[in-house]
A and B are shown apart, each in its own frame.
Chain A
Amino acid sequence: MNLADYKDVFVFAEQRDGKIQNVALELLGKARELADANNEKVVAMLLGKDIKSQAQTLIQYGADRVLVVDHELLKDYMTEPYTQAITQIIREQKPSIMIIGATTIGRDLGPRVSARNRTGLTADATKLEISDDEAHEFRMTRPAFGGNLMATILCKNHRPQMSTVRPGVMQKMTPDANRQGEIVDYAVNFDEKKIARVKLVKTVKEEKSVTDISEAKILVSGGRGVGTKDGFGKLEALAKELGGEVSSSRAMVDAGVMPADRQVGQTGKTVRPALYMACGISGAIQHLAGMEESDLIIAINKDKYAPIFSVADLGIVGDLHKIVPMLTERLRTMQK
C-alpha cells in the first residue's frame, strides 16, 4: 500500500427512507475541518434509491463532491450491498480518511467494511484532529473502559483511516446555499448472490410512549424546590422548548409528585445528557452520583450553599419559579 496514493476525507451520508440523517451533516462539518487542515477535499457517499435530489444538501453542509450510488439494492440499509458499494469506492477512489455515524447502521457497516479492506476502525470517536506538527497525523480520541479513560488512536500504515462518531458529538456547518460542488453518478457492480443471503422481511417503526430519561439528551430536572405538580408544569414547558425531558430528584418521587421512572440518582437512573438543568435540587451525594457526568450542568437554587453548585458549570442563586418561566418565554421568542 502506497500511503501517498490515498487522499481526501470521505463521509458516509446515512439516509433513512430517503432522508439524510443529522449525523451525516455533523460529520461533514468535522470532515471540512480535517480536509482543510490537509488541503484535501470532502467527499460524501450517498447510497440509496431515488436519492440524488438530496446531494445538493450535502454540498451546502460542506461536501466538495458527492458520489451518488442509486440502486434498488440500496433502498433500505442492508449490510452486504452497502459493504460492496463502499468497498468498490475505497478501491477506486482511495480515501485517506473515512468517517461514519455510530448508529445501528454505521456500527454494522463500519466493521464489515474495515475487515473487507483490512484497515483500522476506531469506534465512537469524540474528537478527530490532524496533528499540527510535521507528520499531519490523523488522531482519533475515544472513551474506553466504560467512559473512565480516554484513548487517542492512530491508524498509521493502513488506509482508509476509519472512524465512527456518535450522533450529536460534532457540529454542523451553517448551510451555505451558494457553495459549489460536484455531483457524480457512481455505478457499482454488485455480487447479487452474496446479497441474497439475508432477506429483509419487514421494518417496523415504533413510537416510544415514554422516553427513557437515561437516553434523553436534555433533562430539566426538579427537586424539593419545585414542590408541586404545578411546579413541574413549568419545568415541562421549558423541557418542551429545549426538546428535552423532565426528570426528578428522589424527594419528589417519594412525595408522589413524580413517577419512579423519572428519578435520577443512585437509587434511580444514571444519566449523562448534553444538558442537565437542575431546578430546586440541593444535590445530595446520591443525586450527584447519578448526573455529575452530564456534559453541561446548569443549577438554579435559592440556597447558595447547595452542594449542586459544586458540580454545576453555571450556578444561579435565585428563584426557579421566576427564572424558569422567563427562560421558557425567552427561548420561545428566539425560535420565531
Chain B
Amino acid sequence: MNIVVCIKQVPDTTEVKINPVTGTLIREGVPSIMNPDDKGGLEFALQLKDKYGAHVTVITMGLPQAEAILREALAMGVDRAILLTDRKLGGADTLATSSAIAGALRTMDIDLVITGRQAIDGDTAQVGPQIAEHLDLPQVSYMADLQYDEATKTFTVKKQLEDGYQILEMQAPCVVTALASAVQPRYMTVSGIVTAWDKEVEVWNADRINVPEEHIGKAGSPTSVFKSFPKQLKPAGQTVEVSPEEAVELIVNKLKEKHII
C-alpha cells in the first residue's frame, strides 16, 4: 500500500501577538510548526505502516524552510519526503495550491492520500477535497477513524459530524482529510531524529509536476486578496449604575440589538 500524506508548515497562530500600540500582527518570533490536522493524518498513515507495511511519503508545498517539517516527519518514521518549491507556485490560493499538489501526486502510484482537514493559518478546509477532485478520486473529509481491509482493499472511515458520525466505505485509491483531535501523533524517536538527517529530502520544482502554468501560482488562483487589515479592537462600552429594573431594560435592548433574542 502506498500512502501520501500532504502536510503544511504553519505559524503557530496560538502564539501570535498583537502590537497593542499599532494593532498589527507581530510575526517575528512566531514558531513554525507542522499543521496539527496534518500531523494527525500522518499518524494515521504511520499506523497503517505499522500494521500493513505501507510505504509512506510526505509532501509539502512551500518555501525552502518547510524542509523542517519534512525532517520531523522522517524522524517520526516516514519513508520518503518531497518538498515542492518554486517561485512559480507562489501567491497561490487554495485552487492553485491543490492543482500543484495534485500534479505532483499524479506522478506517483497511490492507494491513499491523506491531508489534514484544515490548516490553522487559513482554516479553509478546501485543499484536501480539491486535490481529490483534480485527481478524480472519491473523498471522505472530517475523518476521525480509519480501518483497512487488505483482502478487498477497502477503507472504512468514520466521518465526524456536528451531531454524530457516519461510517463510510471506499476502495483504494481515495482521499481522506484527518482531524487532529482523533489521534495522538507519535513523538520523534532519538534514532529517528539521527537517521532523518541522513535521509534525502527530494526537492521538486514546477517542471516536475506537469501542470499548465495557468493552473498554478497567482495565475491559477481565481481569488485574490483585495485588502487585509487587523481585526478592529472593540471600542470601550458603556458602564452604568442604574436600578435593577433599568438594568434589565438595558440588557434586553442590547440583546435585541445584537439579534441574540
Residue B241 interfacial (CB < 8 Å): yes
Please indicate the chain A residues that have their CB under 8 angstroms from the CB of B259 in the complex: 171
CB–CB B245/A296 < 8 A: no
Residue A88 interfacial (CB < 8 Å): no
Which of the segments A34-42, A58-66, A140-148, A250-258 contacts the partner chain? A140-148
Nearest CB of B to A192, in Å: 13
Closest residue of chain A to B163 (Cβ to Cβ) is A205
CB–CB A120/B95 < 8 A: yes
Contact status of A112 and B244, CB under 8 A, knowing A198-B169, A201-B168: no
Contacting residue for B93 out of A120, A205, A312, A327, CB 8 A: A120
CB–CB A121/B126 < 8 A: yes
Contacting residue for B240 out of A150, A315, A331, CB 8 A: A315
CB–CB A149/B234 < 8 A: no
Helix, strand, loop or mixed for chain A's interface? mixed
Contacting residue for A124 out of B123, B128, B236, B252, CB 8 A: B123
Please indicate the chain A residues that have their CB under 8 angstroms from the CB of B125 in the complex: 107, 111, 123
Which of the segments B42-50, B192-200, B224-232 contacts the partner chain? B224-232
Which of the segments A67-75, A181-189, A221-229, A297-305 contacts the partner chain? A297-305
Please indicate the chain A residues that have their CB under 8 angstroms from the CB of B166 in the complex: 200-204
Please indicate the chain A residues that have their CB under 8 angstroms from the CB of B124 in the complex: 111, 121, 123-124
| Chain A interface residues toward B at CB < 8 A | 79-80, 83, 103-104, 107-108, 110-112, 114-116, 118-124, 139, 143-158, 171, 197-206, 218, 242, 274-275, 295-300, 304, 309-319, 322-323, 326-327, 330-331, 334
Contacting residue for B228 out of A83, A144, A296, A304, CB 8 A: A144
Distance in angstroms between the alpha carbons of A110 and B118 in the assembled complex: 14
CB–CB B167/A104 < 8 A: no
Distance in angstroms between the alpha carbons of A317 and B224 in the assembled complex: 47
Residue B132 interfacial (CB < 8 Å): yes
CB–CB B260/A151 < 8 A: no
Residue B165 interfacial (CB < 8 Å): yes
CB–CB B226/A315 < 8 A: no
Question: How many interface residues does B have (CB within 8 Å)?
Answer: 77
Residue B205 interfacial (CB < 8 Å): no
B 231-247 contacts with A by CB, 8 A: 231, 234, 236-245, 247
Nearest CB of B to A120, in Å: 3
Nearest CB of B to A247, in Å: 16
Contact status of A317 and B241, CB under 8 A, knowing A119-B222, A122-B223, A198-B170: yes
Nearest CB of A to B259, in Å: 6
Nearest CB of B to A320, in Å: 10
Contacting residue for A300 out of B141, B159, B247, CB 8 A: B247
Nearest CB of A to B173, in Å: 10
Distance in angstroms between the alpha carbons of A22 and B74 in the assembled complex: 45
Contacting residue for A150 out of B98, B128, B228, CB 8 A: B228
Contact status of A79 and B242, CB under 8 A, knowing A111-B94, A153-B223, A300-B247: no
Contacting residue for B244 out of A120, A304, A312, A323, CB 8 A: A323
Contact status of A120 and B254, CB under 8 A, knowing A111-B126, A202-B167: no
Closest residue of chain B to A244 (Cβ to Cβ) is B260
CB–CB A318/B95 < 8 A: no
Residue B171 interfacial (CB < 8 Å): yes
Residue B138 interfacial (CB < 8 Å): yes
Please indicate the chain A residues that have their CB under 8 angstroms from the CB of B189 in the complex: none
CB–CB B130/A156 < 8 A: no
CB–CB A198/B133 < 8 A: no
Distance in angstroms between the alpha carbons of A298 and B60 in the assembled complex: 45
CB–CB A152/B123 < 8 A: no
Contact status of A275 and B255, CB under 8 A, knowing A123-B124, A199-B168, A297-B237: yes
Distance in angstroms between the alpha carbons of A311 and B239 in the assembled complex: 10
Contact status of A149 and B229, CB under 8 A, knowing A275-B260, A312-B237: yes
Residue B129 interfacial (CB < 8 Å): yes
Closest residue of chain B to A203 (Cβ to Cβ) is B166
Residue B261 interfacial (CB < 8 Å): yes
Please indicate the chain A residues that have their CB under 8 angstroms from the CB of B160 in the complex: 104
Closest residue of chain A to B124 (Cβ to Cβ) is A123
Please indicate the chain A residues that have their CB under 8 angstroms from the CB of B237 in the complex: 297, 309, 312-315
The 5 residue pairs across chains A and B that have the minimum distance between CB atoms? A146-B13, A315-B239, A120-B222, A115-B133, A120-B223
Distance in angstroms between the alpha carbons of A316 and B230 in the assembled complex: 29
Distance in angstroms between the alpha carbons of A143 and B231 in the assembled complex: 8
